[in-house]
Chains A and B, each alone.
Chain A
Amino acid sequence: MKNVDSQAIPTSSESSVKMIIRKGNDVRERKMIVYTKSDGDMRYSVSKFIEPADVRGTQFLQISKKSETLQFLFLPSLNKSRRIAGGQKKTSFMGSELTYEDMERKNIQDYEYKLIKEDENLYVVESTPKKGVDSQYSKAVFYVRKDDFAVLKTELYKGEKLFKVIENEITKVEGKYNIPTRTYVKNIENGNETELIIENIKVDIKVQDKYFSPDFLGKW
């Protein structure tokens, strides 16, 4: 899993992302602009919702180090950014099947790993949180491509029950970065689905630091 965690990632990126939420026959779409940046161990990402009108202007900032992740949500109706506390990670992100915990970067030191299967193309690795680590999931099973250590699928369990499946379609961008350009999330319990599709991405471009300051949320 160290190889997974240390994959080459762009120093920065700007992308247009479409979020599709499917619940039964009802399908809803959200569009956002996402900036990311990496600096040593630090990872930054900020998303601004531009559609539909009821969530327009909502911004989500994530600042993560290897050991922890800070999350902030800016709500235009309050004209204020709110910190998402460590104890609020089970809450749904914008009505999708993703929770704030799903969005955060995992500290690989917090989990124990076991190789449970291996074939020609894939490693199947089971991870369980170490004692004292707060997680809504009892275990996760990762399907890792042998060639480049890209995670193609993640199964998340609550107790012994499969709760959520996350599948990634990986695109090689600029010939060197494995970017999940389509992420598909299925909640097994209720059958709901969420899809994140990167429609347009520019990597290693100049993205100003200000976008990743909680004090700049709501100002762009």
Chain B
Amino acid sequence: MKKFFSLIFYAISLLFYLLFLFPNFTYAESEEFTPFSSSSFYSLTRFFLDLKKDNSFEDLAEFKQRFFLETNYKPSEKFSILFSGKLDLNYFYGGFSRFQNFFDVHEAYFSFSGEIFSLSGGRKIVSWGICDGSPLDVVNRPDFRDGIFAEQKFLKTPGILLDLSLLFGSSSLQVVYEPFFTPPQFVDIKGDWAIMNWRSLYIAFEGDKSSDQLKPLLDGQFQPVVKKYPSLFSDLLKSFGLGFYFSSRMELLQLVFAAYTGFGFPLPFFDPVFSQEFARTPGTLEQKLDISAAEILEPASRGESFLKLEPKRYYMLGGGWSYDISGFLLKNDLAFFVSPLPDLNLNIKNFPLLSLAFDIEKEIIPNLISIAGTRTTINLSRDKIVFLERGIILPSISLRYEIYFGQSSLSLLPAFILDIPIESPKIRGNFFVFTSLFKPYDFLEISVGLFLLSGKRTSPFGFFKDNSSVLFSLKLYI
């Protein structure tokens, strides 16, 4: 069945590609408006090497090949269609060597626009907020399949939605309606049941728990996951998402306001049986996280599900501003959430949170921009949240530097982020990421990256420190 759908997707993408490459097949040129189409197709080859392999289940290296096609066609001034799709062919070497392949229609939507409005519908990504990584940017669920070092545009799962933008003067109002819940994407969790690596929540394997190959693993690091996603039909009225985004500009000041209610805050939710056993297990949280999930489940219901991907409704209200003063660009977004999250015993409760992003951008010399900022989340509840506890401050400094050698360009993008818990303000962990992108030709990009995470196992960066890696990638536009 999967192959059948893959074939249909391939056929549709090929058809779109041909139609948009040769638009005159389908549309006559208008005198007032010249129809135009544009397409891009690239091949991206990435090789990741783990810098630290500390258990036998962890992968040592990943080889990822992606083919991506995007095409858009504008037959009239008012109407346009965009289609993009990707094919991923991944091989993981090490702990559990395996192939993982997926084909996605990434975005596919129409846009219809008049003098003061634009209406688009289909499978789409919407970006909100002034800062990069803004807390206001909540419309789409995350896509964990590519890991945390994915290309920016693939960090989110496109949702089926209607997007209406009204423009009036220097202001605009955007209304986004998602008729039903679009789940986040986890690696290969396609069926109702999957097994997941306890350490790296985003790595999961679809599988048959009684299979000879996977059965031994259930006694070790990998455990079942059950999805409790709303049904498309019976839960249609309760699983919708609705958001408003207002933006206005006055001279050098930009203001935005956002309100959103949606389903499925991007975190997994734990089964009560597991939560109870986790609470009963002796030791600190850090010690408990070093015990395999299977051991914690003993003697309760070993082999049963402990991790539920069960989305709940959450609410966000926020705003942001940016202002240009004396050559400094100040940017700030602030959001208030009420969100179901796990407490220290992994029991799910509604937690009020305040989350902010603040950046100061400045050009140091031509082509070198420095950005100093912080991402801060404050837990307004008396109870602590797992990992987040009372709150977290993530101050960061990053640079964007472009150097030209003739027509070739080299972009250097280092960033350093610290993790400081609010209740005891001392550095708990850090994340250093350095990517360099060399473009010798328009059609070729060569990239080398280094990702270093460190900190306590109970901290956000420390939890993922086994994922420190180096990256080599090659992007070829065809």
Given contacts A78-B132, A87-B326, A88-B329, contact A210 B115 (CB under 8 A): yes
Given contacts A50-B38, A79-B125, A87-B362, contact A95 B404 (CB under 8 A): yes
How many angstroms between the C-alpha atoms of A85 and B409 in the bound complex? 22
How many angstroms between the C-alpha atoms of A34 and B328 in the bound complex? 29
Q: Do the beta carbons of A91 and B367 come within 8 Å of each other? A: yes
How many angstroms between the C-alpha atoms of A53 and B254 in the bound complex? 31
In the complex, which residues 130-183 of chain A have their Cβ closer than 8 Å to any Cβ of chain B? 134, 136
| Contact with A85, one of B77, B80, B328, B439 (Cβ below 8 angstroms) | B328
Given contacts A68-B252, A85-B361, A86-B324, contact A91 B369 (CB under 8 A): yes
A208: B residues at CB distance < 8 A: 77, 113-115
Whether B40 is near chain A, meaning CB under 8 Å from some CB there, is yes
B120: A residues at CB distance < 8 A: 219
CB distance from A12 to the nearest CB of B (A): 13
Q: Do the beta carbons of A78 and B439 come within 8 Å of each other? A: no
A134: B residues at CB distance < 8 A: 327
How many angstroms between the C-alpha atoms of A70 and B252 in the bound complex? 8
How many interface residues does chain B have, given as a range? 35 or more
Q: Do the beta carbons of B127 and A79 come within 8 Å of each other? A: yes
Given contacts A54-B439, A87-B327, A219-B111, contact A213 B172 (CB under 8 A): yes
CB distance from A85 to the nearest CB of B (A): 3
> How many pairs of residues, A versus B, come closer than 8 Å at their CB atoms?
140
| Contact with A210, one of B116, B152, B153, B404 (Cβ below 8 angstroms) | B116
CB distance from A95 to the nearest CB of B (A): 6
A78: B residues at CB distance < 8 A: 127, 132, 152-153
Q: Do the beta carbons of B442 and A28 come within 8 Å of each other? A: yes
Whether B365 is near chain A, meaning CB under 8 Å from some CB there, is yes
Whether B406 is near chain A, meaning CB under 8 Å from some CB there, is yes
- Nearest B residue to A50 via CB reads B38
Surface stretch bound by B, among A18-26, A109-117, A118-126? A18-26
Provide the A68-99 mask, 1 if CB < 8 A to any CB of B, else 0: 10100000111110010111111110010001
Whether B251 is near chain A, meaning CB under 8 Å from some CB there, is yes
| Contact with B477, one of A26, A54, A89 (Cβ below 8 angstroms) | A54
Q: Do the beta carbons of B249 and A214 come within 8 Å of each other? A: yes
Given contacts A77-B152, A220-B80, contact A209 B367 (CB under 8 A): no
| Contact with A54, one of B125, B151, B252, B442 (Cβ below 8 angstroms) | B442
B445: A residues at CB distance < 8 A: 54
| Contact with A80, one of B36, B127, B406 (Cβ below 8 angstroms) | B127
Can you list 25 A-B contacts (CB < 8 A)? A53-B40, A53-B42, A57-B40, A57-B70, A68-B251, A70-B249, A78-B132, A79-B153, A83-B322, A86-B327, A87-B324, A87-B327, A87-B362, A88-B363, A90-B365, A91-B363, A92-B404, A95-B404, A95-B407, A208-B113, A210-B116, A213-B172, A214-B247, A216-B165, A219-B118
B residues engaging A (CB < 8 A)?
36, 38-42, 70, 74, 77, 80, 111, 113-118, 120, 125, 127, 132, 151-153, 165, 167, 170, 172, 174, 247, 249, 251-252, 254, 322, 324, 326-329, 361-363, 365-367, 369, 402, 404, 406-407, 409, 439, 442-443, 445, 477-478
A residues engaging B (CB < 8 A)?
21, 23-24, 26, 28, 33, 50-57, 68, 70, 76-80, 83, 85-92, 95, 99, 134, 136, 208-210, 213-216, 219-220
